[in-house]
Structure 1
Amino acid sequence: MIEPSGPLKGLRVVDLTRVLAGPTCTQMLGDLGAEVIKIERPEAGDDTRGFAPPFMPNTRESAYFVGVNRNKKSITLDIAKPEAQAVVHKLLANADILVENFKVGALAKYGLGWDQLKEKYPGLIYCSITGFGQTGPYAPRPGYDALIQAMGGVMSLTGEPEGEPQKVGIPVADLFAGLYGTIGILAALRHKQATGQGQQIDIGMLDTHVAWLANQGMNYLATGQNPPRLGNQHPNIVPYQVFPTADGYMVLSIGNDPTFERFCKNFGLEHLLADERYATNAARVGNRALVTETLTAVTRTMPTDEWIAKLEALKIGCGPINTLDRVFADPHVQARDMLVKMPHASGQEVTVVANPVKLSATPPDYRSAAPLLGQHTDEVLASLGYSAAEIASLREQKLV
């Protein structure tokens, strides 16, 4: 593995996470230079190793797993056994951070709960990511992305007005929980730097979901009214939505009155500016259907690419609705280096989505692709002082 160079270089993370929320958090830490030791179940490993097809080309590694487990070392341990728990304790003796997403109380069965570790390792930062957090009536429940999207309100806001509620097309509840976990860890590291003390970080997926209801959450708090589903329209700005073109669709984002005026003057709609129903954003929100109908008749007159060229020249927000092939082929996405090719232990090269954080002095680095199951077991155990014979014995006992 290439030596890390990021701002978290020198930090060790014990990674007891699987699926998506936890691995998103620990991959971010790994990208920023931390040594991440991922502990997986012998033979089975992280559940997402089996979330396939698709597999990465010419490998038996699931695309799902490869996408959120780079810059990690994989060791296999059966943490239900005392001998394997002893290995975890040896790791923790020189670790800065533990990240886990077991059900509340599950790790306590193995002597690895926060209350059992905090006195033995007072500087340990212990990040727990669960569906509902460590407290409250739902704490014992398992958390799943679609379930959290439903309970957290976003599904009630997503979809066509007359259609059924819709979840977002990617697992945003998992992803946000993982990223909030990273933020909490970075704050805890600053506290530890100042005081020497670790702490527990309690991340509940439902909490993080409620936190990013953002303007829609505030719309409810301001009015006491549940915001309706608006399809692809914006609750507070009109026109800011999908419009049909002569050959497809585009997003038109007119964020203020001067921009609307510029749009009207350049596309034969200047007469609308004298109509009070169109004159201000507040009026346009109140006459949403009328504005949409009026502009749709105009947007249908040109193909998408022609609209984009003309609107960009006028500095009016717009964009095509890209499929993923167009996203990854986009010249701006490519210029921003959002795809990275990495050598994989299978002997193949894998392409992954890059870390979006751009740091001028200590950028994310890409040291190793997602590991094979147990790829680093012998290496890590040897670094902890286990002899070859002791490692072989652990393997014979199916503890690793």
Structure 2
Amino acid sequence: MEKLLTLPETSSAPLSIRAKALVFHDPGSLSLLGDVERIARSDATVLVMGETGTGKELIARHIHHVSGRRGPFVAVNCGAFSESLIDAELFGHESGAFTGASQARSGWFEAANGGTLFLDEIGDLPMALQVKLLRVLQERQVVRLGSRKAIPLDVRLVAATNIDLARAVEAQHFRADLYYRLSVASVRLPPLRERPADIVPLARHFVNVYRTRLSLDDVVLSDGAQAALLNYGWPGNIRELENVIHFALIVCRENTIRAEDIKLVPLMGFAQPAQIGLVPGGLGGQPDAPAQRAGGALTGADSLEARPEPLPQHVGHDDAVALLNQALQALMAQSQEDLFDQVESALVHAAFAHAGQNQVRAAKVLGITRNMLRTQLQRHGLLSKREDDSSLPLSAAA
């Protein structure tokens, strides 16, 4: 048995960071699907955990569909709004509640009334709003900004995160009571590398999607191409697989995707299947050079020099911490007044470089929310305020 989940079709088919399809073919995936559908038939709040690009929104949409709720499915990215706006976006506001509020407006909770509200990147929610969200979940009603009138709600909440919320609770970045309220029913969505039997069926799905858009006849995946796909670690998960197949269809010949058409660019420091006994992936089945990129030579922030030198593989966690303590002791012995800022700056720079200038991965490495990371990036000159604001999407609704 095999099941396919896809996002609703749109005429413009915009580029998106979301996974657009999810196949349940691997035995582990089928078992997960059964658990998800049993959870969906209840009214329990659900917490979906998984790496970026694994299909968390698709799981949330499937939960809504199976639940039989007649209201809308509303998706909101908690990391897409500034702290000053997200309160009004989630809970709504009355006219004159704040500067610029010329008229009353309902929030996303009210928009999802009778249906399901999907809060993606819940770990990015500021602490002050975590308290308000907890109260909404407990009392099943919302109060708009600038109002004292409570509005009753019938909303099922599905939250998602790509960070370890349990660790965030320990670090006091996330409220423990909200964590336990959200995780009544938890779903861990494994990365693509942990469900290898789903890779080729997903690839075939994307072949059919993009060959139609490219006006191509039937296109097949050669045995070599399938081997290349299976022998790769997929750090970008389903989203990366979709991009790889799209490119392969553009360059393939004679309606056949061959190994040399599969453009794989492993992330530095990401363990590939070859490191656990499989054949390396890459162009033509050969390992890719770490510095290779689709656009040619590396420059600027992508250069090898921009990344910190990794410790030798034989250096364990405890030894690395001991070395760090020695370095800190040496710095403190110099009695520098701005030591804290220097150490903080070094940590932020190292994490951002290690993550390839990707904010989501850098935040995950540090165990903090993306909002907190953006603040640090601005403070230490890695991201200007204008650049940060311009990178935010205009709308977080799906």
**Could you say which structure has the higher helix fraction?**
2
Q: TM-score range by the shorter chain?
A: under 0.3
